[in-house]
Structure 1
Amino acid sequence: MLGLPFLLGRSPLRPHRAGAERPSLGAALRRREVRLGIGLVALYVLGQKWGMVLISPFLVDAGMSLTAIGLFNGFMGTAFGVASALAGGWATRRFGAAPIMMASLLGQVAVTAGFALAAAFAWRSTAGLGILTVLNSGVMAFGFVALYAELMGRASLDQAGVDFTLFQCADGLVSLIGWQLVGMFGDRLGFVWCFGLAAAIGLASAAALPRLARTG
């Protein structure tokens, strides 16, 4: 709704080159690359972000102290995430975005399935759950570098800011919807089912990824 005036109105910005269309949301949505990019963002967020909102509540219910949660989900997760983002940037340049996104999604499936198994078998090892938590941060950072590198390639030089804003809005919108749904069903279904469903969604996203990601 907040973007509706920009969709209907004309932008005062001048085109990047002579003869190009004036930057606008409408111009962005008319481009197939942008529409596919929005679909790619939605698919990727479905597979990688929906389960993360359950991790902190699960760690609390598993009896982990707040100090340990802060250490693993805060300090160590952030540090490993930064290192993984750097590694993801190198790997994306070396191998391309599509295989890195696929590897990250499959890694996310494995981590989320690990949380599902931990919930199913009442695994309470602080070190083990901490490792899963840190791995979750790293896998996510590793893949999102590749995702946004892919999206930058889809943005038009004539209105790169508009296109990229659409991609980020799609990321935020799908994340918020997913987190709300996971929060609603978490109490009813429990951690085992929610983590298991998140892993299954991640696997389905990985299977559908080649249809939207560019391999060239």
Structure 2
Amino acid sequence: MNQPLKHDQDFPIKTVSALSLSVVVVLYLAHALPLYFYNVALPAILRHQGVDLRWIGMLSLLYIPWAFKFFWAPLIDRFYFKALGKRKTWLLFTQIALVLGVVALALTQFDYGLSIFVIVGLWISTFAATQDIAIDGYTVETFSESEYRLGSMAQSIGVALGSMIGGAATLWLYQLYGWQTALMCLAAMTALTMIAIFLIKENSNTEKIAKQPPSLIRAFKRPEILWALALIVCYRIVEAPAMAMLNPMLIDQKWSLAEIGVLMSVIGAGIGLLAAVTAAFLLKKIAATQLLIWAGWARSLVYALLGLAVLLSWFNQWHMLLGLFVVVILAIRYIAMTALYAHFMHTSSKEQAGTDFTILVCFELLVYFIGGAMSGFLAKAFGYGNFYLILAAASVLSVLLSQVLIHKAKQTEQLT
């Protein structure tokens, strides 16, 4: 499923320089900063201000643009200013919009009601999602096939750093200096990442090889995309409910919000960095799909152990043991995501890299949202222990089916 793309010969870049890799890390960090402020810091700040939990829960609606960004992805691949470059056009435009959005939050504070957070939040989320299309397209077009593992690693590192800085660090600044100072610092950090945009070097051949305008129809006609979509459903539908119930379980085990914040945003992000680097090293030796299967087996084992630990009341005796389970689950997840995104890069056509990659990511998010939505009902019906044992069994089935899909996809590619 990871065979060379037809047009790789048009892209002579064989190795990725440290500068190119750093640029990609910073680009992914750029749009992760404001997003993780909304995802990590803002819920805690709003709760501190006495905002109703129902309003805080509605913040999840801000991710709607991420699930449907594939609708305008072909436009990002198709329209741009030639003087600036195919990707630089959208990267600059969206980054300026993100900075303006964060500044607007800093200046409005809480004086205009919660609706302002939703409006500005949708602005930030929409432009961050649009920027992600351009970043993904740039990464696929710039890196050679053998270096996609590094592009996927850079993505994981950028997102992990965004979680630490946009989430944990901004929350810390808010506690020390207040809302406006914290948000202006976040705006300044977001603006500084714009430097990376001026350092990117776009391959001029990307404009020459596209024989037809980028479109969704072209993407869905490719067998590689269809097999990848099937793999996403099979693999990710199990992971989503397992991840969704980690925070509620931590709360029910009497972990404080501060402890959960450190565990998920600081320790978890640090583990994510190490896991991403480890995955990139492993991907030099094995195929992305093989690493994905290995992570799936490890995931199954950990879910089973977690379920047993709950049923046997281990966490009542060893309070921090649950934190260890969470760290291991996060590490496996980062390895799996690095492998999965490397596979997405292999699958995407360089003729419309942003469109193809975005379709896969959007579908992955949609499956993740659906899986997460089921989690609460299942956990309440069966209890945490049985819930994770059921997920362990489902994960085993998921891995077995994923292996079949990968094998079938390789057979299809050999025939074409």
TM range (shorter): 0.7 to 0.9
Indicate conservation of the 8 Å contact 1:23/1:162, yes or no.
yes
Distance 1:2 1:68 in 2: 34
Question: Once structures 1 and 2 are overlaid, which stretch shifts more, 10-19 or 32-41?
Answer: 10-19
Alpha-carbon deviation of 1:46? 1.9
Alpha-carbon deviation of 1:117? 1.1
Alignment CA distance shift 1:95-1:65 (3 Å) = same
Task: Report the residue type matching 2:78 in the other structure.
Answer: L
Task: Map Cα deviations across residues 26-54 of structure 1 (whole Å, 9 max, x no partner).
Answer: 11001111111111222221233331111
Task: Report the residue type matching 1:91 in the other structure.
Answer: L
Q: Choose the corresponding residue for 1:182, options 375, 382, 393.
A: 375
Distance 1:35 1:174 in 2: 15
The two structures have a TM-score, normalised by structure 1, of 0.87
Alignment CA distance shift 1:5-1:113 (3 Å) = closer
2:123 equivalent to 1:58: no
Alpha-carbon deviation of 1:11? 9.2
**Correspondence for 2:301:** 110
2:131 equivalent to 1:131: no
Q: Choose the corresponding residue for 1:22, options 213, 216, 223.
A: 213
Counterparts of residues 1-216 of structure 1 (less than 5 Å):
13=78, 16-17=207-208, 20-124=211-315, 125-213=318-406
Indicate the percent of aligned positions where both proteins have the same amino acid. 24
Q: Which protein has the larger Cα radius of gyration, Structure 1 or Structure 2?
A: 2
Task: Report the residue type matching 1:206 in the other structure.
Answer: V
3-state SS of 2:386 partner: helix
3-state SS of 1:49 partner: helix
Indicate conservation of the 8 Å contact 1:84/1:141, yes or no.
yes
Question: Once structures 1 and 2 are overlaid, which stretch shifts more, 94-103 or 171-180?
Answer: 94-103
Indicate conservation of the 8 Å contact 2:231/2:405, yes or no.
yes
Structure 2 stretches of 5 or more lacking a match? 1-66, 80-205
Alpha-carbon deviation of 1:127? 2.4
Indicate conservation of the 8 Å contact 1:116/1:196, yes or no.
yes
Task: Report the residue type matching 1:59 in the other structure.
Answer: L
Distance 1:145 1:165 in 2: 16
Alpha-carbon deviation of 1:85? 0.8
Alpha-carbon deviation of 1:172? 0.7
Distance 1:13 1:198 in 2: 42
Alpha-carbon deviation of 1:6? 6.0
Task: Report the residue type matching 2:297 in the other structure.
Answer: L
Distance 1:12 1:60 in 2: 44
Task: Report the residue type matching 2:389 in the other structure.
Answer: G
Distance 1:18 1:156 in 2: 11
Distance 1:54 1:12 in 2: 37
Indicate conservation of the 8 Å contact 1:47/1:105, yes or no.
no
Alpha-carbon deviation of 1:182? 0.9
Question: Once structures 1 and 2 are overlaid, which stretch shifts more, 189-198 or 96-105?
Answer: 189-198
Task: Map Cα deviations across residues 103-150 of structure 1 (whole Å, 9 max, x no partner).
Answer: 111111122112211221122222211111101110100111111111
Task: Map Cα deviations across residues 44-73 of structure 1 (whole Å, 9 max, x no partner).
Answer: 212333311111111221233334333333
Alignment CA distance shift 1:188-1:26 (3 Å) = same
Structure 1 stretches of 5 or more lacking a match? none
Distance 2:329 2:314 in 1: 17
Task: Report the residue type matching 2:372 in the other structure.
Answer: W
The two structures have a TM-score, normalised by structure 2, of 0.47
Alpha-carbon deviation of 1:81? 1.3
Alpha-carbon deviation of 1:12? 8.7
Indicate conservation of the 8 Å contact 1:11/1:22, yes or no.
no
3-state SS of 2:213 partner: coil
Alpha-carbon deviation of 1:188? 2.2
Distance 2:211 2:238 in 1: 36
Distance 2:212 2:396 in 1: 39
Task: Report the residue type matching 1:104 in the other structure.
Answer: A
3-state SS of 1:159 partner: helix
Distance 1:204 1:19 in 2: 40
Distance 1:36 1:107 in 2: 23
3-state SS of 1:95 partner: coil
Alpha-carbon deviation of 1:3? 6.9
Q: Greater relative contact order (Cα 8 A, min sep 6): structure 1 or 2?
A: 1
Task: Map Cα deviations across residues 127-178 of structure 1 (whole Å, 9 max, x no partner).
Answer: 2111111011101001111111111111111111111010011111001001
